[in-house]
Amino acid sequence: GISQEAYEAGDATAAAIIARRLDKRQNVVLCSHGPVIPELVEAIRHGAAAHRAGLLRASSLATGEFAVFHLTAETTRPHLVEVEVHGAG
């Protein structure tokens, strides 16, 4: 799973979960936090060299912040189009 508990137990499979969700080519919201976030970012960064700064920022969120990753389904394999980071307030 993508929970912090699964991650800490060594059961985290973020890459597989992301791949399954992207294969469906449907809108999805995934929620996780803490040490799992960098793994989630890594799993969706395909074709994202232009978004390096946004990905780095999204990998180190402060408490209460969240990231939104916009991916396109218009290509053979979904790829990152934009990264947004928002505060809790």
pLDDT for res 77: 75
For the whole prediction, is pTM greater than 0.75? no
Relative orientation angle of helices 14-24 and 37-44, to the nearest 10 degrees: 40
Domain total of the chain: 1
pLDDT for res 56: 87
Q: Which single residue is written with the structure tokens 């396109």? A: 72
Phi/psi-derived region of residue 69, left when phi > 0, alpha when psi is between -120 and 50, beta in every other case: beta
Which residue segment(s) compose the domain that 63 sits in? 4-86
List, for residues 22-47, the tens digit of each pLDDT value: 888 888 887 877 777 888 888 777 65
List, for residues 1-11, the tens digit of each pLDDT value: 677 777 777 76
